Amino acid sequence: MKIAVCASEVVPFAKTGGLADVCGSLPPALEKLGHEIVIITPRYKTSNIQVPAPIVRIGENIRVCFVENHHYFNREGLYGEGGGEYQDNLERFATFCHECFKTLKEIKFAPDIIHCHDWHTGLIPILLKTNYQHDPFFKNARSVLTIHNLAYQGVFPKHKYDRLGVHGRLFHTQGLEFYDQINMLKGGIIFADAVTTVSPQYAKEIQTREWGCGLDGVLRNRSHDIYGILNGLDYDTWNPEDDPFLNFPFDAANVNELKAHNKLVLQVALGLPSDEKTPLFGFVGRLCIQKGLDLILEVIDGLVARGAQVALSGVGDRKYHRMIEEAAARHPHKIGKFLKFDEAVAHKIYAASDFFLMPSTYEPCGLGQMIALRYGSIPIVHKTGGLADTIHLYDPIHQTGNGFVFTEYGRGAFLKAVEEALKVYRHQDQMTDLLAQALRYRFSWEKSAKEYVKVFEKCLS
Ligand code: ADP
């Protein structure tokens, strides 16, 4: 099968979150199954490539084509700066979608499947069925849209409709219109041949009123074409045995000793008293309401009062930057923070922390908890979306489970999960057992890639 992957961020070139991880690691997994892939993505100012862009490949032989547009993409941010969105994001990503078609023709890659990701590429399924409907080059092409986070829909004022460059009038409820505005994701959902999302549980949740972000009705109309496929993790990139960011790379045989060494290094770096016995709770993620920052900040004094240290890294809403600064000022010896997007710091926190805080209000899949497991940082999660699919309560008696889970979203339940974690921490044999389980866990891309292929085949049949 010939598959064109179109995405706004792809590791190792540009990343703001899990979308980039997925778009950098699913294509190589598909390639291993024998499919031919090209990736198309914008070249940003910050993209990790030389200028002018040479022919870049990832995986065995996946060609990566960069859409160049100085005006639209040569900026400091991917989607915005200083906490605000760029005002011309519709124009930026509509242009990107049009360029994807042009690029495919230029490189003479007639795809069977165009695999689109999130609202930035929501226009592609529409263009395929309008502007390119009668183009013989795309005669066999079908589109699949993967939703990585339903809350981001690409909503814009209706007066911009003409700038989309779509042939035909689609500003109506069965098209791009959503409460008198343009909604790029909605259009993509309606026009794609299949829709996938990144965990089975989230696939169910988004079809409910509570978690449908206003699009649950649109999604329910397509329920036969919606598939939940769990993300995998790239275990070559996320490998504590061979991680250039770690002072003390480790494996299952020496995890106890070397995680403690990594903890001492991080404590010094964050200005915390060094003590390998102090339980350390880590957080790495976007600082936004979704990631449960409110809950973390509500219980952080309680965590500290229970003798723990906390290490947080992230960027996002100004409000949370400020609240984290305040918490750290209250407890300078207990709370360490690094409020930037920084790969090295992220890896160090995963490796050094004993527990990983992920009390997300909702979570489409979540990679943080998978990475944390791989680095022996035991996840403490809210039972929602992909977190519910991947993390199961540890049972010390039967030695099953891989983390701590709370169901009801609130301070009390979260603190209770934290207390259970601390109880296990104090039982060294239990902690050793749990660590060993965590390190063994694998969320395989091979299995998920095969599920994607099944969806693609269904679209083509
Ligand atoms: P989301 O895609 O919703 O942001 P995920 O858990 O799926 O959340 O993926 C987050 C990815 O982004 C992980 O690879 C995580 O390590 C990375 N990440 C998030 N914040 C930071 C940061 N401040 N510095 C470095 N990496 C980060």
pLDDT of residue 419: 97
Compute the distance between CA of residue 4 and CA of residue 408 in angstroms, rounded to an integer: 41
Distance of CA 194 from the midpoint of ligand 1 (Å): 27
pLDDT of residue 51: 62
Q: Given ligand 1 and candidates 9, 46, 341, which is best to mutate, with the most ligand atoms within 8 Å of its CB?
A: 341
- Asked if residues 194 and 229 have their Cβ atoms less than 8 Å apart, the reply is no
Distance of CA 10 from the midpoint of ligand 1 (Å): 13
pLDDT at 356 over 70: yes
Over the chain, what is the mean pLDDT?
Answer: 96
pLDDT cut 70: percent of the chain above it:
99
Residues with CB under 6 A from ligand 1: 17-19, 21, 284-286, 313-315, 341-343, 346, 365-368, 371
Q: What is the pLDDT of residues 252-293, one digit of tens each?
A: 999 999 999 999 999 999 999 999 999 999 999 999 999 999
Distance of CA 268 from the midpoint of ligand 1 (Å): 23
For ligand 1, atom 19, the nearest C-alpha belongs to: 285
Distance of CA 76 from the midpoint of ligand 1 (Å): 19
pLDDT of residue 270: 97
Q: Looking at the domain 255-440, which fold is it?
A: Rossmann fold (3.40.50)
pLDDT of residue 334: 98
Structure tokens at 429: 């044999």
Q: What is the pLDDT of residues 399-422, one digit of tens each?
A: 999 999 999 999 999 999 999 999
Q: Given ligand 1 and candidates 284, 345, 382, which is best to mutate, with the most ligand atoms within 8 Å of its CB?
A: 284
Q: What is the pLDDT of residues 438-457, one digit of tens each?
A: 999 999 999 999 999 999 99
Ligand 1 atom at minimal distance to the Cα of residue 358: 6
Distance of CA 397 from the midpoint of ligand 1 (Å): 33
* Cross-strand bridge partners of residue 142: 113
Domain boundaries, the chain: 2-232+445-460, 255-440
Q: What is the pLDDT of residues 2-53, one digit of tens each?
A: 999 999 999 999 999 899 999 999 999 999 999 999 999 999 999 988 766 6
Report how far apart, in Å, the C-alpha atoms of 179 and of each of 41, 152, 155, 156, 157 are: 30, 16, 10, 11, 10
Structure tokens at 270: 């964050």
**Which of the two residues, 49 and 215, has the higher pLDDT score?**
215
pLDDT at 54 over 70: no
Q: What is the pLDDT of residues 334-354, one digit of tens each?
A: 999 999 999 999 999 999 999
Q: Looking at the domain 2-232+445-460, which fold is it?
A: Rossmann fold (3.40.50)
pLDDT of residue 83: 76
Distance of CA 449 from the midpoint of ligand 1 (Å): 21
Compute the distance between CA of residue 263 and CA of residue 351 in angstroms, rounded to an integer: 8
Compute the distance between CA of residue 219 and CA of residue 186 in angstroms, rounded to an integer: 9
Q: Give the mean model confidence (pLDDT) for residues 98-113.
A: 98
Same fold, 2-232+445-460 and 255-440: yes
Distance of CA 16 from the midpoint of ligand 1 (Å): 7
Q: What is the pLDDT of residues 169-183, one digit of tens each?
A: 999 999 999 999 999
* Cross-strand bridge partners of residue 147: 197
Ligand 1 atom at minimal distance to the Cα of residue 365: 7
Place of tokens 């497991």: 373
3-class secondary-structure state, position 258: helix
Distance of CA 304 from the midpoint of ligand 1 (Å): 24
Whole-prediction pTM value?
0.94
Q: What is the pLDDT of residues 55-105, one digit of tens each?
A: 799 999 999 999 999 999 999 999 999 878 999 999 999 999 999 999 999
Starting at the edge strand that comes first in sequence, how are the strands of the sheet with 155-157 ordered? Answer: 155-157, 181-183, 177-178
Ligand 1 atom at minimal distance to the Cα of residue 16: 12
